[in-house]
Amino acid sequence: MDDSLLVVAKDFIHKGSFSFEKGGEIPSFNLRYETYGTLNENASNAILICHALSGDHHCAGKYAPEDKKNGWWDNVIGPHKAIDTNQYFVICSNCIGGCQGSTGPSSTNESTGQNYNLDFPALTIQDMVRAQKLLIEHLGIEVLHGVVGGSMGGMLTLQWSITFPSSVRKIIALATTARQSAQAIAFNEVGRSAIIQDPCWENGSYDSNKGPEVGLAIARMMAHITYLSDKGMDFKFGRNRRKSTGELFDVEFEVESYLRYQGQSFVNRFDANTYLYLTKALDRFDLYGEDNSLEKVFSKMEAKALVIGFTSDWLFPPNQNRSIVEAMLRAGKHATYTELQMDLGHDSFLVDAPDLYDLLKHFLSS
């Protein structure tokens, strides 16, 4: 029997202007979100989940029993799971600047009646967190029991502990970094170039129905490789072949077919300008600040922190996760670093892993 949670997506409409960190404002915004479980009487059991770059607010359950796919972290979130929805009130919102129901470059600009496209203000991780804070307040929550996120979600998690130190009791950041390395920026730049150099991009003013699909698919194919690992890909695909049409450059190997599929399915659900905005927000992310001192930045933190690195992650390698906790400890904070031996690369945090479940469960309940 399928015991998946049945969930509905909701909209939080903020009817006031929102100013962005790097300048610019929008007259109002929408955040699409989902909640699971029940908020207790003193509103002390709320956990905010922060999604990764291409993720969304649908992190657990299904919309209808016949849905083929559950939310992206359904293995972690649900009744009796590591983040137990019988115990916690779990919230996940699509970030501001996103394209899965929240206001972003592909939303309509009220003043022109057209899509914002490149008129949308430059976006940062802090903007996403400040918009989430308004949602949390709207839900009647002053202090979150926890904020949890991996990859870009991990950046949001860290940012929460610094921007709103007294509003978070515990943070769990997975497979993340306190600032993007040159390598990570480089990969994002290749993706952006693929989009920008697609003639259909039209300086960002493409028609909503047909954008730079080739560029976006290539960006996704390349980025997807950075989420996996040599060993993981070898295990999944090896040199397995596909039936080929015999054309010179047709798909020959399983891995090619997989990447083409990833690229194509991304085009169907993601907006190219949003991809440009979000990857830039990642690249700009640098918690070290003007003094180049992470411990100084974390001296504000009040939350207890758990940071988890994954041995095969080469996008945000273990050392970058380690450095976060090292700075927190030097700042005299309660922080734990642990590393999971997993083969699946950056995306390891998304897969079935009993050790990860134990860590999440113990840390949230201790």
Positions annotated as catalytic residues are: 151, 313, 346
337: contact with another protein by CB under 8 A = yes
- Interface residue with another protein among 22, 330, 331, 343 (CB under 8 A) is 330
Q: Does 359 sit near another protein (CB under 8 A)?
A: yes
Query: Binding segment for another protein among 15-23, 220-228, 238-246, 339-347 (CB under 8 A)?
Result: 339-347
With CB under 8 A as the contact rule, the residue among 162, 325, 342, 344 that binds another protein is: 325
Binding residue (CB under 8 A) for another protein from 108, 190, 334, 351: 334
| 49 vs 325, beta carbon nearer another protein | 325
CB of 293 to another protein, least distance (A): 12
Would you say 357 and 81 are in contact if contact means Cβ atoms under 8 Å apart?
yes
Q: Is 336 in the site for another protein (CB under 8 A)?
A: yes
304 part of the interface to another protein, by CB under 8 A: yes
Residues 258-297, mask of contacts with another protein (x by CB under 8 A): ----------------------------------------
Minimum separation from the CB atom of position 80 to another protein (A): 18
* 362 binds another protein, rule: CB under 8 A: yes
Count residues near another protein (CB under 8 A).
Answer: 23
Which of residues 251, 340, 342, 344 is near another protein by CB under 8 A? 340
Binding site for another protein (CB under 8 A): 304, 306, 322, 325-326, 329-330, 332-341, 355, 358-359, 362-363, 366
